[in-house]
Amino acid sequence: MRSKIVVGIDATRALSGGGVNHLRNILYHVDITNSGIREVHLWVTPSISEHIVERDWLVKHSPNKYFKGIFLQLLWQFAILPMQLRKAGCDIVLNVDAGSFNPFKPSVTMSRDMLPFDPMEMKRYRYGIKWFRLIVLKYISIKALRRANCSVFLTNYAYDVIKNSTGNLKNAVIIPHGVSSAFSQLGVFRKPWTLVEEKKIKIVYVSHWTEYKNHSSVLRAIDILISRGFNLELTLVGKCDFKKLEVV
């Protein structure tokens, strides 16, 4: 009988948003009973670790002292994490973000961030600190995806765009995030929707406030609709740098 494997997960680059929710929901819902997996070791920041479910087969590692800056994080991924993976007896590692310096193999690497590969969006940041950071991230991601034994993309479009920079990748697969069951019941409570001019239409946009999320376009669209007589109320939900509010 084939022995069960130990899986390592490097989630230290998953700091917010979809990456964290994806990880949290997978570990909450997964059943490893018949999966061929004996144990999972998760490396994650302390602030995210407290939101991850406790499991008998899940061992959490939170290397807090190495997360004082991006260069220390990358150094830790490159030099220390591989040693910790071997010490934990991991047979394979899942990098939940392609912005990883982790050289451990065999590995599966997920690509979540298209922004460094989109020339039009990159123009928003041209020659600033964020632009430089994204350029560095792009080349780290290219190397990580080429190094991986398997690469995972969220959409066919993302794979087609990023492949222009990486070239053909071995064992590339498309695995969308999916939709939480929390949203499947919304239709049960929602009444049939009709456009009534005197009734206020409430709109919610959930996203952290950054250039490529196009909050300014959303605000302009809402303003146009209001000027045409629609009774609208917009709520923006997400982390925000208040300096950006002044620009809008």
Model confidence at 28, pLDDT cuts 50, 70, 90, reads confident
35-83 pLDDT per residue, tens = 889 999 999 888 888 888 899 999 999 876 656 667 788 888 899 999 9
CA dihedral 96, 97, 103, 108 (to 10 degrees): 50
Return the percentage of the chain with pLDDT > 90, whole number: 35
d(CA 165, CA 144) in angstroms, rounded, equals 12
Question: Residue 227 contacts by C-beta under 8 Å, 6 or more apart in sequence?
Answer: none
Burial class (CB in 10 A: 0-12, 13-18, 19+), 118: middle
215-232 pLDDT per residue, tens = 888 999 999 988 988 888
187-205 pLDDT per residue, tens = 655 666 666 656 788 898 8
Look up the pTM and report it: 0.79
d(CA 74, CA 106) in angstroms, rounded, equals 19
Cis peptide before 106 (omega within 30 of 0): yes
β-strand pairing of 232-237 with 201-206: parallel
d(CA 148, CA 20) in angstroms, rounded, equals 21
What does the buried/exposed string (b/e) look like for 18-55 if buried means 16 or more CB atoms within 10 Å of the residue's CB?
ebbebbbbebeeeebeeeebebbbbbbbeebeeebeee
Q: What is the CA 116 to chain-centroid distance, rounded?
A: 14
pLDDT score of 1: 43
